[in-house]
Amino acid sequence: MPIYEYSCPEHGRFEELRPVEARTIPALCPECDKISERVMSVSKWVMGWKHLANVKSEPAPEGAGYYPKWDD
C-alpha cells in the first residue's frame, strides 16, 4: 500500500498508508478529525537520487583496478 500525504487546514500535513482505491477520498486529520484533502508531494526516494546526482566522488587510488580519468 502506498503512503499518501494530506493537509489539515488546522494542523498541516500528515501521511497516511492507504489502498490505491482510496487515494482520492479525503482523510481525517489524526489530531482533530477534520476532513483533509490530499496534496501532491515529491517522493523521498526521488529526492535522494537528486542529492546523489550532485555528489562528486574521489577517483579510485592507483592500482585499484579501473578508475575514471577526471577532467579537472
Structure confidence by residue, pLDDT tens digits, 13-70: 999 999 999 988 999 999 999 999 999 876 666 555 555 666 666 666 677 666 566 6
Is the separation of the CB atoms in 4 and 14 below 8 Å?
no
Give domain status of residue 68, yes or no: no
pLDDT at 25: 93
pLDDT at 24: 87
Give domain status of residue 8, yes or no: yes
pLDDT at 2: 86
CA distance 45 to 52: 11
Give domain status of residue 50, yes or no: no
pLDDT at 67: 55
What are the φ/ψ torsions at residue 61 (nearest 5 degrees)? -70, 155
CA distance 18 to 16: 6
| Domain extent at residue 32 | 3-44
Count of domains observed in the chain: 1
